[in-house]
Amino acid sequence: MSSTLFTLARSLLLAFVLGNNSAFAEGVDVGKPSSLRNLVPAESIEKAATQEYHQMMRQAAEKKALAPADHPQVQRLRRIADQLIPHVSPFNPRAKRWRWEINLIASKQINAFCMPGGKIAFYTGLVDGLKLSDDEVAAVMGHEIAHALREHARERIAKTQLTSIGAAILGEFVGGGKYYEAFRFGGNMLTLKFSRDDETEADVVGMELAARGGFDPRAGITLWQKMMAASKGEPLAWFSTHPSGNNRIAEIERNLPQVMPIYERSRNPAAAR
């Protein structure tokens, strides 16, 4: 075999391995999502989340707390989202069909969320109150989007239903297609508490999304430093569902080597050629 053919064959083999073995793939490795989520139809969760989200936005509008589309911070949030969303498919192929929405609510709460189906909201207490940079906003947004991509809410609801009504009754709902009634949230979507593992997954997946979108993943460190400083005195809404601490920063630092090359390339794509 000539050296040219050998090089070509080697390149093709390497491309095949990289494309079919996640251990060799670039970026973070968080494994497959929990199979428990399959007990709950994604469409039902996303439908209920959309209804709850729109209800929240209507209530905010009635209180004149919903920022208009031409508000500079709304435009900023949507611009950042536009840089992250194109990179969601590898983590959840269904996400490319989601109808993404990004809104800003005037509130002193230091909080943000992304519901199943891509429904995002930020509070002014977070964006303005902590004076977040674009990179820090991307860290928050990436984290919240990651919860939706990894379907953590869907998994937590399945676990809750298994605990509260039992596997036999849940199976009956599966057969009858009655999930919509069984999982009507009635404003409780945001009260779901994610596990420590869920939070770690969201942090590291969010770092990769931010990096691919051209935002510095190291901003997660300064973000959590600001969060911890702001939490002194009274608990933050964010911390009710988002455990924090120095161990969280350490986890971010541990995963930086996997995402910094992606960030550097996204900032200077010509150098990667």
pLDDT tens-digit profile of 139-167? 999 999 999 998 877 777 776 666 555 44
The string of pLDDT tens digits covering residues 82-94 is: 999 999 999 999 9
Distance (Å) of CA 73 to CA 70, 128, 137 = 8, 9, 11
Residue 163 structure tokens? 């605990």
- Region 169-184: mean pLDDT is 47
Helix, strand, coil shares, percent, the chain, to 5: 65, 5, 30
CA of residue 135 relative to chain centroid, distance: 15
220-56-128 Cα angle (round to 5): 35
Q: pLDDT confidence of 198, banded at 50, 70, 90?
A: confident
CA distances in angstroms from 113 to 19, 29, 124, 140, 238, listed in the order given: 32, 23, 13, 9, 9
pLDDT of 78 over the 50 cut: yes
Please tell me the predicted confidence (pLDDT) of residue 95: 94
Phi and psi dihedrals of 23, rounded to 5? -65, -25
Can you say how many angstroms the Cα of residue 167 is from the centroid of all Cα atoms in its chain? Answer: 29
Q: Which pTM does this prediction carry?
A: 0.78
Q: What is the DSSP string of 169-217?
A: HHHHHHHHT-HHHHT--TT-GGG----HHHHHHHHHHHHHHHHHTT--T
Write the CB contacts of 218 (distance below 8 Å, at least 6 apart in sequence): 135, 256, 260
Return the HEC string of 64-83: CCECCCCCHHHHHHHHHHHH
d(CA 127, CA 204): 21
- Checking if the pLDDT of 241 tops 90, the result is no
Between 156 and 129, the higher pLDDT residue: 129
- Lowest mean pLDDT segment, chosen from 58-67, 106-115, 139-148, 231-240: 231-240
At 37, the pLDDT band (50, 70, 90 cuts) reads: low
pLDDT of residue 35: 64
Share of the chain above pLDDT 90, in %: 49
Specify the pLDDT at position 247: 79
**29, two tokens:** 């490795």
Q: Which one of 101, 144, 199, 208 is the catalytic residue?
A: 144
Q: Tokens 């039902």 identify what position?
A: 44
Q: How many CA atoms lie within 13 A of 65 on its CB side?
A: 17
Q: Is 144 a catalytic residue?
A: yes
Label residue 232 by pLDDT band (50, 70, 90): confident
Please name the amino acid found at residue 187.
Answer: G
